[in-house]
Amino acid sequence: MKKLINYTLLTILFIGLFACNKNSRFSVDTTNAKQIKINRFDIDFLNLDTARLDIEISKLIKKYPAFTNIYIADIMGVDPNDSLKTKEFIYKFLTDKTFNSVNKKSLETFKDISSIEKTISESYCRINYFYPNIKLPKIYFFVSGFNRSIIIENNIIGIGTDLYLGSDYEKYKEFTYDYLIANMQYSSIPPDIISSILFSNFTADLTQNRLIDNMLYRGKIMYMLSVIMPDEMPNTLMGYTKMQWEWSRKFEKEIWNAIVDQKHLFSTDLMLIRKYMNDAPFTNPISQESPGRLGTWIGWQIIDSYMQNNKNLNIHELIKDNDYSKILEKSNYKP
């Protein structure tokens, strides 16, 4: 494929805003949205007095009983009932010179989280509008020692803030792949939270488990994410850079033709499906110049076409419908 030409900033913004406004028929008034407050476990944890840890840990457990146990078990890998090992692990972590600067950077980066709380509040309002029976999780910030970005358990979502310090944070290059770093930034937190909620509440029904089924399931979730977060740029929702999004737009027809011509669309080969759906530096069956996860991206475009061509459908009908062959046919998708 030809290399992507350099688009002007104006063009990028115009196309991005156009994509964001497609779902205006599902607009929700969030003026009176309930204000969501994020629990700052990270601040209290990092401010523990290591000289009196027994007392400090007891205070932490009293303030955050459910999340402290999850944190100890999932992040530390320690039995929460083993107070000696818990104390030992916390002491080592808080006095570790390597992570002292990381933890300090986390507190600085997330000193003001009002914009995140505002976005989450509005998103929760929209989810409640469409699905009032969904019990939305409480949100906690924590530091993970570069161990985990998201915990979702027992109606709790935890966010490892040290994995969202910005794509230019130098320490990331020491432990992770370049293609993952672009999404490790402040602005990625709200979409990561909301997409985690959507994926956990609307699980896949992949009876045949073909590539097209995986593409359209994830495409449905991405479409719903764009409805729940209409003010976010589509590349942010997708976890793409602007250039990755524009590359996909420019070569959309070629991508689709390659999937069809290679007879991949109805394949049940799990290795092949992973190449289209999983995080990777590029989507191997398409091009080494491509971004990863193009299966999800194309699935989103098909679902968008399906909803544009079937304006009588609502969100509930879209999410419940698992007849992916029918959706593909009725999408009239022609990039």
Q: For 169-178, what is each residue's pLDDT tens digit?
A: 999 988 888 8
69-114 per-position pLDDT tens digit: 999 999 999 999 999 999 999 999 999 988 999 999 999 999 999 9
Give yes or no for a contact between 136 and 128, defined as CB atoms under 8 angstroms apart: yes
pTM, to two decimals: 0.91
Give yes or no for a contact between 90 and 48, defined as CB atoms under 8 angstroms apart: yes
The pLDDT value recorded for residue 23 is 54
For the chain, percent of residues with pLDDT exceeding 70:
93
The pLDDT value recorded for residue 19 is 45
Give yes or no for a contact between 59 and 82, defined as CB atoms under 8 angstroms apart: no
The yes-or-no verdict on residue 152 having pLDDT over 60 is yes
Dihedrals phi, psi of 153, to nearest 5 degrees: -165, 135
215-270 per-position pLDDT tens digit: 999 999 999 999 999 999 999 999 999 999 999 999 999 999 999 999 999 999 99
The pLDDT value recorded for residue 235 is 95
